[in-house]
Amino acid sequence: MKSQALVGSAISTLFLALVAAHVAPSSSEAKPTIVSTAAATETLSVQSSDVELESTLDTTPIRGANIGGVFLIEPFIKPSLFDQFLSRNKEDIPVDEWTFSAALGKAEAKRQLEEHWNTFVTRDHLESMADSGINWIRIPIGYWAFNLTADEPYVDGQVPYIERVLEWSRDIGLKVELDLHGAPGSQNGYDNSGRRGVPEWLHSRTNVDRTLDALAKMTQIAVDWSDVVYGIQILNEPSRWKWEVKDIFAFYNEAYDLVRSIAPDVLFMIHDTFLSPKDWSTLVAPRWTQALMDTHIYQMFDNYMVTINETAHIEMVAKMAEDVMKFDKTSIGVVVGEFSAATHDCTKYINGLGRGSRWEGTLEGIADHPLCPFATCSCTGDYGSNPAEFSAHYKRFLRNYVDAQLAVYDQELAGWFFWNFRTEGAPEWDYILGVEQGWIPSFPRTAMPKLNESSAIVFDDAPTSHEAKSEAGQGKYQLAKSMYGIVVTLGIVVATTCYFLFSL
């Protein structure tokens, strides 16, 4: 009987070894690039049961980048879209998406924007960011993607391109926040709302109803893509300087009920309307659950801040975050939804197309003389658009400045979203460029795709084409899963046979 037991033990050991060999590839075989050693045990159980892998992402801060300037264009992010009009008289040059579309007409605007949607953000960009530690993206969208009237110059058709980004995010393992970035009538009068000028959003109940309709349709996307979309920002930067805070809060409450009626568990995200953190409680209802406050922290849209030196900028990070740290986060968390590496406003069109800069004293209605930390101010060299001209000293400053911000946003708050994922000639605003150049640090990769049949797995040795990667990943996963099933079946047969033989 002892020899029988030894034989049975040997067979059992052999069986377990066979199972392990087929479930976990050896170091010489292709393996998912996103599965960490710590998650290996969880991964094995997922592959055998198709249970969704949540990993340790829930305890990891939001480390995000904005996919801005794509589905709502801004002149400073891609100036070439607007430079085509510079030969016109100043009053005829488009300054936002509204006037851009009106200047081109529906057909040509649709053609140019579809090309832009198709090329400005790619899967390569998302994978590059995930490799450097990004685990979330925030996608700004204008209301006209969901609710467009015939008398408006905007064009729609963005949704299929947005859903393509969601599909890439699912494959790569990125979580997504959908952000309603522009409301009918404009909620702030900035070009980032789609329409620069005098805001009219809350002047009309029709505007509010259309905003809610767009929000409902955007929230439905969150439901349809619930394994990818984890957050809904109901409106970006409604301005407290334009509207009474109580009226903005009334909209927030109405939007909360709407979102919760469609998506009960999605993160409900609001903007602080540029209020001081000590007043944020006026924007929050105690009944809200799963809510986040979004605050945007910049140091260049202010006449004083552009005049302070590099040391003062770094010290200002802690000073600006002090009240945020004091805010009671028991009812609502805080995320820095926008920040950058910029401390000057030299960036082309950053204050709006045709408006100039504080740095050189050309910002209309704001600065009639140069405002900078030096005796003379020039938007060249370290403060120009070409990173090849940046000095080693300036690059070190950028790294120290970004590190100072992340020390707070990454460690003390719910997380952050850098503005922006990429730009066309705005180096301090370009996350991908900043990582490449070294002034933005990389984090361990925490974006982890779900290991089930509805999501592709990307393998190290797959073809370079991302579509091919997805197909190869799915094929290898299915092969591994099939082999696993064969081994399990054979093992059960062998184990059962041995059991009856040794029982005789």
The span from the CA of 48 to the CA of 17, in Å, is 15
The span from the CA of 361 to the CA of 199, in Å, is 26
Helix axes 245-262, 205-224, angle to 10 degrees: 40
φ/ψ of 334, rounded to 5, equals: -130, 130
| Cβ neighbour number for residue 238 with a 10 Å cutoff | 28
Q: What is the dihedral of CA 390, 396, 397, 399, to 10 degrees?
A: 110
Contact present, 233 and 183 (Cβ < 8 Å): no
Give me 278's structure tokens.
Answer: 């000590």
Q: Is 247 exposed, middle or buried (0-12, 13-18, 19+ CB in 10 A)?
A: middle
Give me 5's structure tokens.
Answer: 């037991």
3-state secondary structure of 9: helix
Contact present, 410 and 61 (Cβ < 8 Å): yes
pLDDT digits (tens, 9 = 90+) for 16-64: 344 343 333 333 333 222 222 223 223 222 222 222 333 433 578 999 9
Q: Give the residue numbers annotated as catalytic, written as ranges.
A: 237, 338
- For residue 479, give the H/E element and its range: helix 466-503
Give me 220's structure tokens.
Answer: 């439905």
The answer on 345 and 204 residing in a single domain is yes
3-state secondary structure of 332: coil
Between the alpha carbon of residue 49 and those of residues 1, 23, 46, 449, 484, the distances in Å are: 36, 12, 5, 16, 11
With respect to residue 444, please indicate whether it lies within any of the assigned structural domains. Answer: no
The span from the CA of 289 to the CA of 114, in Å, is 37
Q: Is 500 exposed, middle or buried (0-12, 13-18, 19+ CB in 10 A)?
A: exposed
The span from the CA of 183 to the CA of 238, in Å, is 9
With respect to residue 445, please indicate whether it lies within any of the assigned structural domains. Answer: no
With respect to residue 442, please indicate whether it lies within any of the assigned structural domains. Answer: no
Q: Give every residue of the chain whose pLDDT is below 50, as ranges.
A: 1-57, 452-485, 487-488, 500, 502
Determine if the peptide bond prior to 420 is cis (ω within 30°). Answer: yes
**Planar angle of CA 303, 308, 309, nearest 5 degrees:** 150
The span from the CA of 212 to the CA of 206, in Å, is 10
Between the alpha carbon of residue 369 and those of residues 285, 355, 358, the distances in Å are: 45, 14, 8
Among 410, 437, 464, residue at a domain's last position: 437
The answer on 222 and 93 residing in a single domain is yes
Q: What is the dihedral of CA 38, 40, 46, 52, to 10 degrees?
A: 30
The span from the CA of 136 to the CA of 252, in Å, is 24
Instruction: Give the model's pLDDT for residue 497.
Output: 53
The answer on 29 and 172 residing in a single domain is no
Non-local CB neighbours of 356 within 8 Å, separated by 6+ positions: 362, 363, 364, 367
The span from the CA of 95 to the CA of 49, in Å, is 54
Give me 132's structure tokens.
Answer: 């450097």
The answer on 459 and 433 residing in a single domain is no
Contact present, 132 and 443 (Cβ < 8 Å): yes
With respect to residue 226, please indicate whether it lies within any of the assigned structural domains. Answer: yes
The answer on 237 and 159 residing in a single domain is yes
The span from the CA of 406 to the CA of 201, in Å, is 34
The answer on 463 and 319 residing in a single domain is no
The span from the CA of 111 to the CA of 441, in Å, is 37
Non-local CB neighbours of 208 within 8 Å, separated by 6+ positions: 201, 202, 251, 254
Sign, CA dihedral 230-234-239-244, equals negative
With respect to residue 492, please indicate whether it lies within any of the assigned structural domains. Answer: yes
β partners of residue 68: none
Give me 308's structure tokens.
Answer: 């302070």
Number of domains, the chain: 2
The answer on 499 and 386 residing in a single domain is no
Any idea how long the chain is? 504
Amino acid (one-letter) located at 89: N
Average pLDDT of the chain to the nearest whole number? 84
The answer on 421 and 352 residing in a single domain is yes
With respect to residue 443, please indicate whether it lies within any of the assigned structural domains. Answer: no
The answer on 480 and 347 residing in a single domain is no
pTM: predicted TM-score of the whole model, two decimal places: 0.79
Give me 68's structure tokens.
Answer: 């801005």
With respect to residue 446, please indicate whether it lies within any of the assigned structural domains. Answer: no
Contact present, 275 and 282 (Cβ < 8 Å): yes
The answer on 270 and 176 residing in a single domain is yes
Q: What is the dihedral of CA 293, 240, 351, 86, to 10 degrees?
A: 110
The span from the CA of 320 to the CA of 322, in Å, is 6
Q: 404: domain CATH number?
A: 3.20.20.80
Helix axes 159-172, 466-503, angle to 10 degrees: 40
Among 437, 467, 490, residue at a domain's last position: 437
The span from the CA of 206 to the CA of 201, in Å, is 9
pLDDT digits (tens, 9 = 90+) for 99-130: 999 999 999 999 999 999 999 999 999 999 99
Give the DSSP letter of residue 51.
Answer: P
Give me 386's structure tokens.
Answer: 């070409």
The answer on 423 and 396 residing in a single domain is yes
- Residue 483 is part of which domain span? 2-49+453-503
Among 437, 462, 494, residue at a domain's last position: 437
Give me 373's structure tokens.
Answer: 């930390």
Instruction: Give the model's pLDDT for residue 331.
Output: 81
With respect to residue 267, please indicate whether it lies within any of the assigned structural domains. Answer: yes
The answer on 141 and 10 residing in a single domain is no
